[in-house]
Structure 1
Amino acid sequence: MTLPSTRDWIFSIKTFVAAMLALYIALASELPRPYWAMATVYIVSNPFVGATTSKALYRALGTLLGAAVSVLLVPPLVEMPFVLSLASALWIGVMLYLAMTDRTARSYVFLLAGYSLALIALPTVNAPEGIFDVAITRSEEIILGITCGAVVNSIVFPSKLAPVLGERTAAWFRDAAVYARETLAGRTAEKASTDSRQRMATMINSLEFLLSQLSYDGTRPDIVLQARELRARMSLLLPIISALSDPLRSLLAEPTREAATMRDVVERLSVWIEDTRRKPGSHADSTVRLVARELREEIASLEPPRETLEHWHAALLSTVLWRLKFMVDIWEDCVTLQHAISVDETRSWAPQFRHWRIGVVKPYFDYGMMLFSTLSTVLAVLVGSVLWIETGWVDGAGGVSLGAVACCFFAALDDPAPQVFRFFIASSISIVVAGVYLFVVLPNIHTFEMVVVAFAVPFICIGTLIPNPKFSQTAGVVAFSTATFISLQSAYEANFETFLNGNLSAEVGLLFAYLWVRVTRPFGAELSARRLTRSSWNDLVLAASPHALATQREMAARMLDRLLQLLPRLASTDAPDRLHPQVETFRDMRVGLNVLDLQVEREIADPRLHAAIDDVLVGVRAHFERCVEHNTRQIPPHSLLEAIDAALDRSIEPAARGEPAKVMHTLISLRLATFPDTPPPTSLRVAASPA
């Protein structure tokens, strides 16, 4: 275990100071539950100013919304506890669903608005006349904690998010270089390649949330825009490298002069990528652009004469060179963007990689799974409420509230049970710590200064673990729960029976939440992966159907976003290259993007090619319709291969005349993605490569 860094200690001390400030103001203001102000500081605090500020703002809005709905629901429904429970559960479900449809920091508004209702409304059913006062004071206490946490974090040694963005992109560059090297070497299913792909996808996904907080960090708007451009190109690099694997492997498999030359180019490209990834941003833009320009010139010099494209090797070489240029362009963009963000923020940036798919963001949501997760949470709250009402347990509301919080927190996970159980364990630890303080330490303390001294060591030590991703969740729950369970007020009022009964309710609620998600959501990532794969087949059917360009751009963005969600869910296996889950997933992605490219190119291609291209699209559509119908991957039919070869044969002539060869390149890429181990087309097969 790595010991906490200096930055971790500074963060923990700042958070403790903010918590004690919030507690002091709450006590001085005679708020009924001052401990909520202290606990809130540990909920909203983050090592970085932008994250703390955004979380504080959204938590305040969510709390106020939840409090307002509590005031509206409790008085008219208090005499109908089952109806109140149903209304509360439905509200929590609607807010949870909205939170899951927003992958930015803004989702916190909906999440808080949901479970704040459970925290405010349910414990007041025995005294509904005080709901307005409870809602007001709870909002005041929470907003006080939010304000103290945000102000102290912004003033005392503020830590910006921009350096973290640099660190995370540097880690991504390392994995991207490994993935590029392994792909260029033809090792697409080796462990190093699959692991790097998974880490790249996970990193890109995490950057989406981080970028939503960047504007709260005082970062200039143009830097935020460049950061989004960087993430967009980081996302596209995965399929671009993958698209190069098939034609490059086919070209290098033959002992030809082109293959030998290509190995030299690939080696030089690998060296450039490795060199720029070691310290991304440390290379001057001029150096990066110079080497990139030299690589592009070398790639252009290897382009075979147009009249030789009727030969398979020449057509394949041209396709590889086309894909290599894409790779050089987008890697140059990634490196220079990282430099503009992390090293020289005054430098203007101009893109090198330009494509019709760039600039569109279309997230993919599995609405079916989101609805199922929401309904599971709604039923958990409803069943918990019924058990509480039927048993007549006065303090049972606390258990329902905390169970609702746990279910909401982890509803978006494929398998929430382990995280809910950690929540339960952390809460149990908090009860023990709170009991020691409440019945052993605090009876001997009579001033606020002594309270600060007594709290300092444990809370500061726990706070150092919050910045560590491995322990942040558990440490945060322990800090928040301990502050809550101690229930510190202006006068010492400790009753062991009340303490035990109230906290036992919380533990029962968390245990119920754990058992509930274990029973209702036992599927794990495997089900999500299958649903994502089936959804990708449905989109491939749509991709092969006529659509407007704007729709095609959105479809491509949705395919890419789904791929980034699917990759971390696919475990590495020992399956052969063709059957490896990640390889098959990337093949689907390549087929989809090539089909969309073919749709775009059809509009500007020679009209004599339209019928042949349409036959290919019909074949692709029919193939994936069968995959969807049988709910399993099908072997592509030979008729599709014949349609691709016929279209490829017709695309050679205009390419040989000097017209754009994009249709030919796309058809070759589509053929290799769909039929990776199939011999070249008979019409293009040659005994030797052209001179």
Structure 2
Amino acid sequence: MRSTHTALSFWRRARWRYVLLGVLRDWGREDAQTLIYIGKVLLACMLAMWVSLKFELEQPRTALLTVAIVMQTRTSMVLAKSFYRLIGTLVGIATSVLLVALFAQERVPFLIYLALWISFCTAGSIVFRHHQSYAFVLAGYTICIVGLPATLNPGQTFDIAMTRLSEIMVGLASASLVSALIFPQGISELLRNAVRKRFRDFSRLLINLEQKKLSAPNTQADTLRMVGDVFELEIFHASSSMESNHSRAYRQRLTLLNSEFMAVTTSFHSLEQLLRRLQASGHPQVVTSLLALFAPIQAAVMTHQHEARNEDEARQVALTINALRQRWPMHLHEIQASLPTTLSETETLDFATGAELSLRVLDELHAYTSTYAGLSQPMPASTLKNRQSPSLGMHFDPLAAILAGLRGGLVFALMSLLWIVCDLRSGIEAITLATIASTLFASSPSPSKTVRQFIIGALIGTALLYWCNFQLLTQAQGFTMLALALSPAIAIAAWLTTRPAVAAIGSGIFIVFFLHIGFNNVFAAHPINFINEAIADLLAIMLAGVFYSLIDLTNGLWSRTRVALALRTLIQEACVQTPPPERTSLETHARELLLRMGSARHVANAQDKEVVDWLLSTLEIGQAVINLRQELQQVSDPTIRGTIDHSLLQLSRLFAQPSTTLRQRAIVAITSSIERLQTSASLTIANSQQLLTMLHFIRGALLDKHSVLTPVAPLDEVTEPGALRHA
């Protein structure tokens, strides 16, 4: 009994020790990282303040504000943001000095040119992505920090510029040093985890393709969640270049991985849509056979009864998929032999189309898995050269960029007008804050919501500012007491910035707090000035919020309409452009259009559903059209080429201006092309089969009752595609 009791006590202690270790592990993975980040922000701010005071810089708060803006949880992100902030600052300062030199005595022309410059920079922040976008933002509002004070003292423009540059450099150096030396958090591991998670998620998506789920409503959430993965990986990779010297081959392979991921997700979505259409149209035998054909692919992505969790397991998956590719013709023949002999000609073509898409998924999955499995291993230059790694490029709506620039310029112009007409004593700070708000959030997926949170942060920051200025700083003696007085507000703001849902509130606290913190080399408390500055700040942010509401580039009806039009234009280009666009170019263009509008993050919103449907339709039909045109290049029969070209022309006209008549004409033309191919003897069997399956897939997508074309171009009930041709 005693030994049993001793063993039981030991087991209980071991169990509690295991639980405690698990709790500590979770705490270290989440909460501890947050505390470390807050500590690093505090340390960087204190270092910047100490250096600024030591060298008697005019405004130490500029250095503190710089630290708050560039600090990130990952070291390489801090370095990248600091680098682009330096570039943006230098450009902004140079422009400020030039404009002051040209218009030193002409205030109105000077402000007009400043507004034009801010418009240009705001538009640039829309055109470019991540850190390059941030550089344009900095070049925009830095001109306010330097240029506006210089209008009051034109003779001191150079001194003001060099002083502000020195303060910003102190902030950048402090943030970079602390982030790099104190508990550095690399992004390479984050990059690897993102790649691994993406592979696991897609493997799970493949495995979950079941017949009973095809009848359920398609929420599209899983597919849309992967739209932003491509660009998230690109952001991580762009930042990681500041952390270590990645080789050119490694960068090429990451780009190749993104390209292959887009290809296989699009092909899988096309297959899933085909199965859903067949299930809905009453062809369960074809669906069952296609799922049986696809089952080995689902089994291949599994290793040890789970999805591949790392590169080593992915290597085994790649070998399994390659072996499946070798025996695929035999497997396909077995499934074809088991098909009922009572299948109609249309059902037979449905199966052939599904088999072709399954083979494409298999080939693209093998390429994607092989690249992922070998990501951490050297690849021969000759092998990498033979595999394309196209750049993601840059795709944007020119009108959206112009309107964003107009919005930024108008906010600056109106605040400048208020400064002149009302003679605001704190006008420079208010104009600067309005410009920051109108440029910093221009590329946000939901700028109106972000500005609302920023206003909340500004109110909280104003309250903390009053308490700090008039309760704490008046009692502070020496640097230590000064640091203690500032620490609570900095810690609160830093903690909020670690929470994505309320990060803009933390930014609002930081910016308002550091713009008006009441210390320089000599401290002076002026309650009346403080109230005036607080009112001017809130007015400036509210003005920016009003213009975000008036010119909303993400949620407005006109914005959704333009994105849908741009997506339809991609189909038109795929149909008639010579030479046809690259598939990667079409996919990146389509995904980025949706990502910039923010609809990828609002999949459940009814107002965004139409745009999301246009994206998915663009991906599946665009891929089929490009593959069809590539296969058509091998056809020498002018009759067949003319018939298919006519079908593509009708399809292009349909997407240019969707209507019932044009939809019927496109379906009739495609049906005619299919019939011509089925009776032609001038093509090889493989070539004819490729053309038939792609044409049949496009026709099925156009006949789909749940197609995005249905609300704008409804069709009458049709039981057989041939009925349309003879209508």
In the alignment, does 2:82 pair up with 1:56? yes
Partner of 1:82: 108
Distance 2:388 2:689 in 1: 19
**Higher mean Cα deviation, 38-47 or 95-104?**
95-104
Partner of 1:422: 453
Distance 2:216 2:144 in 1: 49
**Higher mean Cα deviation, 146-155 or 659-668?**
659-668
Residues 280/518 of structure 1: CA separation in 2 closer, same or farther (3 Å cut): same
Distance 2:129 2:423 in 1: 39
Residues 525/271 of structure 1: CA separation in 2 closer, same or farther (3 Å cut): farther
Distance 1:584 1:519 in 2: 26
Distance 1:185 1:573 in 2: 27
Residue 28 of structure 1 deviates from its aligned partner by 0.7
CA deviation profile, 1:158-204 (whole Å, cap 9, x unmatched): 11112222333444445535654566548579567422223212333
Using the aligned pairs only, state the percent identity: 19
**Higher mean Cα deviation, 349-358 or 635-644?**
349-358
Partner of 1:605: 635
Partner of 2:713: none
Distance 1:371 1:165 in 2: 34
Partner of 1:37: 63
Residue 290 of structure 2 aligns to which amino acid in structure 1? Answer: M
Distance 1:573 1:63 in 2: 39
Partner of 1:287: 316
Residues 190/387 of structure 1: CA separation in 2 closer, same or farther (3 Å cut): farther
Residues 511/59 of structure 1: CA separation in 2 closer, same or farther (3 Å cut): same
Partner of 1:506: 537
Residues 115/457 of structure 1: CA separation in 2 closer, same or farther (3 Å cut): closer
In the alignment, does 2:230 pair up with 1:198? no
Distance 2:164 2:485 in 1: 26
Partner of 1:482: 513
Partner of 2:569: 538
Distance 1:596 1:28 in 2: 64
Partner of 2:264: 237
Distance 2:559 2:388 in 1: 26
Residues 640/451 of structure 1: CA separation in 2 closer, same or farther (3 Å cut): same
Residue 117 of structure 1 deviates from its aligned partner by 0.7
Which of 263, 280, 284 does residue 291 from structure 2 map onto?
A: 263
Residue 79 of structure 1 deviates from its aligned partner by 3.1
Residue 127 of structure 1 aligns to which amino acid in structure 2? Answer: N
Q: What's the secondary structure of 2:242's corresponding residue?
A: helix
Residue 38 of structure 1 deviates from its aligned partner by 1.8
Residue 329 of structure 1 aligns to which amino acid in structure 2? Answer: D
Which of 403, 406, 422 does residue 372 from structure 1 map onto?
A: 403
Which of 581, 587, 594 does residue 624 from structure 2 map onto?
A: 594
Partner of 1:637: 663
Q: Is the 8 A contact 2:290 2:354 kept in 1?
A: no
CA deviation profile, 1:412-458 (whole Å, cap 9, x unmatched): 34652221222122122112212212211122222112223333444
Q: Is the 8 A contact 2:567 2:590 kept in 1?
A: yes
In the alignment, does 2:34 pair up with 1:12? no
The two structures have a TM-score, normalised by structure 1, of: 0.87
Partner of 1:396: 427
Residue 550 of structure 1 deviates from its aligned partner by 5.8
In the alignment, does 2:162 pair up with 1:132? no
Residues 585/290 of structure 1: CA separation in 2 closer, same or farther (3 Å cut): same
Residue 111 of structure 1 deviates from its aligned partner by 1.3
Residue 428 of structure 1 aligns to which amino acid in structure 2? Answer: L
Residue 72 of structure 1 aligns to which amino acid in structure 2? Answer: L
Q: Is the 8 A contact 2:150 2:156 kept in 1?
A: yes
Q: What's the secondary structure of 2:185's corresponding residue?
A: coil
Structure with higher RCO (Cα < 8 A, 6+ apart): 1
Residue 347 of structure 1 deviates from its aligned partner by 5.2
Q: Where in structure 1 are there 5+ consecutive unaligned residues?
A: 628-632, 684-691
**Higher mean Cα deviation, 19-28 or 585-594?**
585-594
Q: Is the 8 A contact 1:177 1:277 kept in 2?
A: no
In the alignment, does 2:478 pair up with 1:451? no
Distance 1:507 1:650 in 2: 69
Q: What's the secondary structure of 2:477's corresponding residue?
A: coil
Partner of 1:439: 470
Residue 73 of structure 1 deviates from its aligned partner by 1.4
Residue 115 of structure 1 aligns to which amino acid in structure 2? Answer: Y
Residue 390 of structure 1 aligns to which amino acid in structure 2? Answer: V
CA deviation profile, 1:17-76 (whole Å, cap 9, x unmatched): 121111111111111001211221111111112111110011011111111211121244
Distance 1:574 1:405 in 2: 32
CA deviation profile, 1:581-634 (whole Å, cap 9, x unmatched): 64454223322222222222222124242121112112112222333xxxxx65
In the alignment, does 2:489 pair up with 1:463? no
Residue 111 of structure 1 aligns to which amino acid in structure 2? Answer: V
Q: What's the secondary structure of 2:519's corresponding residue?
A: coil
Structure 1 segment 296-311 matched on structure 2, within 5 A: 296-297=325-326, 299-303=328-332, 311=345
Residue 271 of structure 1 deviates from its aligned partner by 4.7
Partner of 1:667: 695
**Higher mean Cα deviation, 279-288 or 149-158?**
279-288
Partner of 1:322: 356
Q: What's the secondary structure of 2:701's corresponding residue?
A: helix
Residue 323 of structure 1 aligns to which amino acid in structure 2? Answer: L
Q: Is the 8 A contact 1:182 1:192 kept in 2?
A: no
**Higher mean Cα deviation, 667-676 or 522-531?**
522-531
Supply the RMSD in Å over aligned alpha carbons: 3.5
Distance 1:95 1:189 in 2: 49
Distance 1:277 1:398 in 2: 57
**Higher mean Cα deviation, 141-150 or 189-198?**
189-198
Residue 636 of structure 1 deviates from its aligned partner by 4.8
Q: Is the 8 A contact 1:336 1:349 kept in 2?
A: no
CA deviation profile, 1:388-432 (whole Å, cap 9, x unmatched): 211122322221111111011122346522212221221221122
Residues 223/192 of structure 1: CA separation in 2 closer, same or farther (3 Å cut): farther
Residues 472/331 of structure 1: CA separation in 2 closer, same or farther (3 Å cut): farther
Residues 332/478 of structure 1: CA separation in 2 closer, same or farther (3 Å cut): farther
Partner of 1:495: 526
Q: Is the 8 A contact 1:44 1:146 kept in 2?
A: yes
CA deviation profile, 1:106-150 (whole Å, cap 9, x unmatched): 222221111111222223433333222111101110011001111
Distance 2:126 2:568 in 1: 24
Distance 2:635 2:177 in 1: 60
Which of 553, 565, 568 does residue 600 from structure 2 map onto?
A: 568
Distance 1:12 1:36 in 2: 19
Residue 667 of structure 1 aligns to which amino acid in structure 2? Answer: L
In the alignment, does 2:652 pair up with 1:621? yes
In the alignment, does 2:251 pair up with 1:224? yes
Residues 393/234 of structure 1: CA separation in 2 closer, same or farther (3 Å cut): same
Distance 2:668 2:212 in 1: 27
Distance 1:560 1:421 in 2: 27
Distance 2:556 2:197 in 1: 25
**Higher mean Cα deviation, 236-245 or 169-178?**
169-178
Q: Is the 8 A contact 2:200 2:307 kept in 1?
A: yes
